[in-house]
Amino acid sequence: MNDKSLIFDIYRGTTHDGTGLRTTIFFKACPLSCKWCHNPESIDFDNQVWFTKRKCIGCRTCNNVSSKEIISVDDGKISLATDVKDIPKICAENCPTKALSMVAKEYSVDEIYKEAIKDEVYFQSFGGGVTISGGEPASDYKFVKELLIKLKEKGIHTALDTSGFAKWSVYEELLSYVDCILYDIKLIDSTQHKNLTNVNNELILENLERIITYKRQKKPNLTLWVRTPLIPFATASKSNVRKIGSLLTELGESEIDRWELCAFNNTCKSKYEQLGLDWEYKDADLLSESKTDEMLKVAREAFNEDKTLISGFTSKN
């Protein structure tokens, strides 16, 4: 097990990553590379530097600690003199305004556990707990397992948010310490899945079936939420939604507690800019209410109507 793991964010007071009021811990690293990803900083397995231009005062400290020019200032106009991905970490470590900063921070199990239980009183009051998310937390499953064990020893409700792309043996180790699993099913067509996420979906679909069997045979009180992102020109088609709903019905309607259709989020555009990355969806609009209503209708025809819902922002158009 790694002594420390990279955490790129901790959200407190979340209400959509499991039941009640929760603290969500975001682990860096993901084997998928979804073209629409709204957390692009979560994908790379290594830590990264990002640049927040509005914080830069042009002091050139980064230039002084680096062997190359990082920031240029011409007639008072500040600009990067190199690609963000090529900026040395030492520049972020010395930037006085944090215009250059590291995406993630290293935590030990004890350190991140102490951060999580700061909100224990809220968990008790509002029936929440801690959600382990990413990235893909299964990528560092031994570390995650130790964290989950400590949380369960404290009596805290736990949730695991996963893409499903990991060996079944990994989930077998984790599920004993998980009260709720949030499981992504993006696409049924494997070729499309490969083109849009960089991995095939066979393992993901197999693991969903195994989790349903596990719940049925070993842990009936495990809560299972399936989540499908509704992405324009990708997953948000009647055909895809209908096929996913049919699969869920076939695999175990009674074992799946919720199917959530998550509307496309374009508010992450600045993250791609901070990482110096081009984003294929930078000009894509939010889905319209009529489009999401259409997708919800199809989903409810294919799966249990009472368990199917829409989340996220939509436009009026």
Provide, rounded to the nearest whole percent, the portion of the chain with pLDDT above 90.
95
pLDDT in tens, 48-71: 999 999 999 999 999 999 989 999
pLDDT in tens, 173-225: 999 999 999 999 999 999 999 999 999 999 999 999 999 999 999 999 999 99
pLDDT at 303 over 80: yes
pLDDT of residue 291: 94
| Mean pLDDT for the stretch of residues 295-309 | 98
pLDDT of residue 317: 65
pLDDT in tens, 113-148: 999 999 999 998 999 999 999 999 999 999 999 999
pLDDT in tens, 28-51: 999 999 999 999 999 999 999 999
pLDDT at 316 over 90: no
Tell me the pLDDT of the chain averaged across its residues.
Answer: 96
pLDDT at 278 over 80: yes
pLDDT at 231 over 90: yes
pLDDT of residue 76: 86
Domains of the chain and CATH, by start: 4-45+112-311 (3.20.20.70), 49-102 (3.30.70)
| Mean pLDDT for the stretch of residues 81-102 | 96
182 vs 88, 138, 213, CA distance in Å? 36, 13, 16
pLDDT of residue 67: 87
pLDDT at 226 over 80: yes
pLDDT band, very low/low/confident/very high, at 169 (cuts 50, 70, 90): very high
